[in-house]
Amino acid sequence: MVDVPGGPFRMGSDTGRADETPVREVSVGPFAMARTAITRAQYAPFVATAGVAAPPWWDDPDFADPDQPVVGITWFEAGGYAASLAALVGGSWRLPTEAEWERAARGGLDQAPTPWGDSVPAGESPDGPLSGPWRVGRGTPNGFGLCDIGTIVHEWCADWYSLATVAADGRPALPARRASRGGSWRHRVRWSPPSARSSLPPDFRYADYGFRVLREGA
């Protein structure tokens, strides 16, 4: 886990897609975020002990490395995993809101186009065709010490997704899709800006959807 300081920051982008606008000041409290997306090795005990079915691609050799991010997880399963950590280690655990995710991804930089500043570090993602996600933690940490933030997999967020960006805390209205953030190993461009948004119905499973967990407080 990596501590992320609370405070105000400018969320969104005036140069991105319509669902990233407008740039507005949002304030979040302090929290701790998983340094990387949850891996297969971290998720395996949840499958073994919580009565949760193994996700698709679990037995596929291209997704079987313990240090790969676990994928094919529904929003409900991601939230259930986060909640289960309270019984194991104490504290209040959940998925991050979009505002918290973006605060963490920006690494303390104001309106930078990437989580690392003006450009993506060389070698941040593998070149050429891929048949599965790469291992977590191989990239350059951002200013808060988070690795792979914006790359490898889309990451579920706690919020419902909406084209409207209405509330002062960054939470949108309530349609039928859950918000997600981050890039994808399956895309031609394998990283996303901190403000970029995506979404999926909460019961869908895709081979490039994973998640991080958040612990409240610092």
Residues 6+ apart with CB under 8 A from 87: none
**How many Å apart are CA 46 and CA 19, to the nearest integer?**
34
pLDDT of 11-24, one tens digit each? Answer: 999 999 999 999 99
E strand spans, 77-176 = 93-94, 154-160
Distances (CA, A) of 94 to 48, 166, 178: 20, 22, 14
> What pLDDT was estimated at residue 167?
54
3-state secondary structure of 79: helix
The H helix count followed by the E strand count for the chain is 3, 10
Please state the rounded mean pLDDT for residues 113-137. 96
> What pLDDT was estimated at residue 176?
81
- Indicate the pTM of the whole model: 0.93
pLDDT of 169-190, one tens digit each? Answer: 666 554 689 999 999 999 999 9
For residues 123 and 169, which has the higher predicted lDDT (pLDDT)? 123
Q: What is the DSSP letter of 115?
A: T
> What pLDDT was estimated at residue 162?
75
Residues 6+ apart with CB under 8 A from 155: 37, 101, 180, 181, 182, 209, 210, 211, 212
pLDDT of 140-149, one tens digit each? Answer: 999 999 999 9
**How many Å apart are CA 154 and CA 71, to the nearest integer?**
9
> What pLDDT was estimated at residue 119?
97
Task: Give residue 91's identity as a one-letter amino acid code.
Answer: G
